[in-house]
Structure formats: structure tokens, C-alpha cells
Chain A
Amino acid sequence: MLSLHDYSEGVRIALIAIRANKMRSVLTTLGIVIGVVVVTLMATVIEGLGAALDKSISSLGTDVYYISKWDWFSGEWWKARNRKDITVEQAEELRERLLLAEAVVPVVNSWQRTFKYKNRSVKGNLNGTVPEYEITSGVVPEEGRFFNEYESNAGRPVCIIGHDVADNLFEREDPIGKTIKISGYSYRVIGVFEKEGDFLGTAMFSKDTQAFIPLENFLKLFGTNRSIDIHVKMRDGVDKEDGKAEMIGVFRKIRAVPPGEENDFGINTQDFLKQVFDGVVSTIGVVGFLITSLSLLVGGVGIMNIMFVSVKERTKEIGTRKALGATRSSILFQFLIEAATICMLGGLLGLAISWPLSLIIDEVLPSSMPLWVVILSLSISVAVGLISGIIPAFTAAKMNPVDALRYE
């Protein structure tokens, strides 16, 4: 039976042995150190991405469906090419017929329009939509306001611009009430959206670089030769699936899709962000996992090697201990503890390196090293020590005392 004495003697011997071979011990743990650094930084980055994702999702608004000719993430974009365009009239009809929806908002857009004020200009997407856009988008203007029913119906030349557009065109001037040119046409700025930021380069979904004008105006001046999007937000308390089923059923009728045939339109949700996130996370995870396992493997082999050396060097000591009454299990335990302690020190060294690095990551991607990762890495380190120490420790334990004592 192993007693507490074995344990404290084991740790004591381990520390003495490690202190006697400081350089060797540190070099041996290199693999563990790298493994722990990779694991902790990986977890920190993933945690940061998760936080960023949450922010993006909340800016998109929950339970909003985006009906579009395209499926955002189907991987079969060519299917959509033969679909008929979604029109403003279809959006109108959908709005009239849906009972469970709070808002049905047509959005028509045009890419890479020039926004100009005085001698400054930037390019960005131009959207034509209706006042309910405020409901589906979940964002309110930081300054000014969104356009109202009257401006919308009359197709007034007013616009709300994204935060970056405002920064670029106006610098320190107050944009509200100023007139900008959009592809040559004059618009009065009535609102500026708050800053959203972008998530993993999904700037195309961020309103920061876009501008919004009344749908009527857009159709009059820019026409529409492309398919529009329809944003649908369900009423509060409506079951997600019910709302979705009604929406799909009605829209299939509007588009005259024969029963049994696939939808000729895409139903998208913010879940796509989750998909992007999951993709990125699993990439980081796979790469990190490979590097980690590789370095732990290398580290483990190194530990095993050094433990064999340590057992060999201390053969006579093992013989002496056995002569004094050490059992096989206490010798086994002694060397296991030594291996685990070396690895544990490697783990701590790894944490000491990754901690400042995680603070640097925090600057770029707000995050913090999760506590469970710290605990996990130390546990993994100890486990590697125990696994790679087991064979050398066993060699030591089963030595014949006489042979060990004779060893020169």
C-alpha cells in the first residue's frame, strides 16, 4: 500500500533530482511547454471568437429570416442561378398574407455605389428599404433617425448612412442635414447607424459601410434588375417553427411552386454566422490539436528517455532503497512522481509563456484565458508525465536488489 510518506518522499526525491539536473529537466519539457502554449492560446482565441460571434448575432437580431434567391451557405450556388428573381411585388404580397410575422421588409441593394460629400468619396452598398427595416435589423440610428412612412411612400431623397461612411465623408462635421451625392443623385442625411464592427471579415453584413434610402426612391432612380431580399421577423411569442412553416407555405404559393418540388428561394438565418464560427473554430481546433498532440508526443518521448537515463543513473540508489525496505510500488511511485513533477513544471512554464501572449491576443480579439484551460493543461501535463514515466518506473521497480546494488 502506498502511504502519504511515499508520496511526500516521492515529491521530495523528484525535486532533488530535478534541481540536480536543472538544464536537462527544462530541455526535456520543451515539448510539453509548446503543447501547453498551443492549447491555451487556441482556447483563448476560440473564446475570443465566441464573444465576437455573440456580439455579431445580437447586432443582426434574433428570429429574423432572410428570404433570398440565394442560399448563403449551401455550397450549391449554381442551383439558385435558374431561380426566378424575387420581386418587390412578391414581398408586398407576402407582407399582406403572413399572420405570424411582425415585419416583412423588402430590401433591394446595389453594390459599390459611390458616396460623395464635397471632395471626399467612399464606395459602399446602397440599400432601398422601408421604415420597418428598423424592426428587422435591430439597430437604431446613433444620431438622427430612420426615414418614416411618409418619406418612404413619397420616395423622398433622404438617407441613413453607416458609421464608417459618416466618418470617412464628414470627419468632424455633423452629417445630419447635410446633402451627399450617391452615384450623382443628391440625398439628405437624416441618420447615422451606430458602429457594428465586423466579424471575421464579414464586413459585407455590417451596416458600417452602407447607406439606406427609401425603396420607392431606389426603384425610381436605380430601378431593379436584380433579385431583392425579404427580411421577416416573427411576432413575439410565435413558435419559430410555426412562423417558418407559414412563411414558407405562403411564399411557395406566391411563387407558384408546385407541391412536392423544392423551394425556389433560400431561407437564411443568422445561423450562418454560427456556421462560419464553427468552421473557423474547427480549423483552429484541428490545427491546434495536431500541433499539440505532436508536441506532447515529442515531449512524452523526451520524458520517457530522460526517465530511463534517470533510472539507469540511480540504479545503485534503487538497490540501496530496496535493501532498506522500499517495495516495488514505492519505487514505481517514486519515479512516476518524478516524471509527473517534471511535466508539471513544463506545464507551468508553458502557462508562464502563454499568459503574456494571451494578453496580447486580448488587444486584438477581446478574450481571456479560461480557467478550465489552465487546469486542463496542467492535468494533461501530469498525464503525459505519468504515461511516459510508467515504463521507466516499472523498469526501476522490478530491478533485482542484488543486481541493482552491484551496478557500477
Chain B
Amino acid sequence: MALIHIKDVVKTYDMGAELVHALSGVTIDIQANEYVAIMGPSGSGKSTLMNVIGCLDTPTSGLYEFGGENVGDLDDNQLAEIRNRKIGFVFQTFNLLPRSTALHNVELPLIYAGVPSHERRERAEKALTDVGLGDRMLHKPNELSGGQRQRVAVARALVNNPSIILADEPTGNLDSRTGVEIMQLFSELHAQGNTLILVTHEEEIAEHAHRILRLFDGKVASDEVVANPLTYASQM
């Protein structure tokens, strides 16, 4: 059974004067431990699809099942719980709390999961160490470089052991060198058995994934397997 099952999903925004069809009938399945890149021109509906997958947004029509569960049946608190326990988000703009330390930022999902403070701290420290920030834990975001900030965000996405990591243009605000570093991190995560979905409009970034999904005007234009995914080793 697919981890993510999306069938005929439509998302329409009513702008009063006109209807904007961000997604007009998307059908895809994504299995556990896949590494998928979503590509497509600006406005093609990539972010909208990610938001639907991430349970941040609900489709106008169509079916979305996450781990066999019909997301359309869930109430607000259940959605929050799925976002908290099953999904890890990485944003283009990092979205760290500016006045909190890296450690506290990483602890946040655990706070909402009700993990006791001692264990919380331990797990957040481990997640930060895993992304190579063991020596930056008490720094605030403005004391970190862009790449380091995105690593904190990745650690935050990982800390609650989600079923899937969603990253919407995670390298969009980074220079290409730092972007590659983040992609190496993702390849490692995938090698460790994580499921990843990544939005990007850079072919080179998408080549890291094992499957590329191209959107056009809110529809899936192509869905192909990458023959030889880039690994971080091949780039070094």
C-alpha cells in the first residue's frame, strides 16, 4: 500500500473575479522510502501540492490518503497531530523562530508532541549533532549562516521521526555550494530509509532524487524514474 495516495485532487482558489485552478486533477502514489522531486514552472501548483500532502491545506475535491487514512475525514486536531508526528517540513525561508536558540527551535515539534523536557533536549541535541551542528546548539538563527539555518530546519523536521520529509525549494535561498551541502544531507537521510519529497526548479537539484514528477498548469505532465541519481559522493 502506498504511503501517499492522491487521486483526482483539485484545488481551486476563488478570487472573486476568477477561479484559479492551482491543481486540476492530480493523481499520484508515493511509496515509503521514495525520494521524489517535484518540478515545474512557476505557478504550476508545486507548493499547492506540497501543502496538500503536508496536511496544511485541504483539496477542493479528490481523495487524499496518508498511510491508508483518508485525510478528508480528519478534524483540525487530528491534522495537527499528523503534521506533528508524521510529517517534517523544510521551508525555503527556513522559518526558524528568530529569538530562540537552535536547540529550542528543534525542540518545538517535541513540545507539541508532549515529550518530557529531559528527553526533548536529548533528542534535539542528537538531531542537531546528526546534521553537523553539535557545536552551534545555543546559537540564535541570526548567529548562523544560511546553510546552518537550513540544517537546523532539517534537524527540526527530523526530530520527531516523521514518516516523510517535505521540502519546498530548500535550496532556493542558498548559494549553490551550500545548496549542494543540503542535498548531500538529504541523500544521507534517504540512504537511512527516510521518505523525501522535494520541490525545486533546478534540474541539477532534482537529479538527486530517484523519481521526478513534473507539473504543468496544475496537472502531472510527466512522472519518471531517474536512472542514475546523483549521490553526494559523485559530486565530491
Contacts and interface: CB of A to CB of B under 8 A. Distances in A.
Interface of A: 3, 5-6, 8-9, 16, 20, 316-317, 319-328, 330, 400-402, 405
A386 to B, nearest CB: 22
B95 A320 contact: yes
Contacts of A20: 99
Contacts of A330: 112
A323 B111 contact: no
A326 B51 CA distance: 16
Given A402-B51, A402-B56, A402-B57, A327 B80 contact: yes
Contacts of B83: 322-325, 401
A9 B113 CA distance: 12
Interface string B10-51: 000000000000000000000000000000000000000001
A326 B81 CA distance: 8
Contacts of A316: 95
Chain A interface, DSSP helix/strand/loop, else mixed: helix
B141 interface: no
Contact of B89 (A324, A326, A328): A324
A404 to B, nearest CB: 9
Contacts of B56: 322-323, 401-402, 405
B108 A321 contact: yes
Nearest to B98: A317
A330 B97 CA distance: 16
Contacts of B97: 317, 320
Given A16-B99, A16-B100, A316-B95, A322 B80 contact: yes
B170 interface: no
A402 B89 CA distance: 13
Interface of B: 51, 54, 56-57, 76-77, 80-81, 83-85, 89, 91, 95, 97, 99-100, 108-109, 111-115, 117, 156, 160
Given A324-B84, A327-B112, 7 more contacts: A5-B115, A323-B89, A324-B83, A324-B109, A326-B80, A327-B80, A402-B56
A325 B109 contact: yes
Contacts of A8: 117
Contacts of B112: 5, 321, 324-327, 330
Given A9-B111, A402-B57, A325 B99 contact: no
A259 to B, nearest CB: 80
A316 to B, nearest CB: 7
Contacts of A326: 80, 112
Residue from A3, A5, A324, A327 having most chain B Cβ neighbours under 10 A:
A324
A146 to B, nearest CB: 77
Contacts of A324: 83-84, 89, 108-109, 112, 156
Given A3-B114, A5-B111, A405-B95, A323 B81 contact: no
A8 B56 CA distance: 26
B77 A327 contact: yes
Nearest to A319: B95
A402 to B, nearest CB: 5
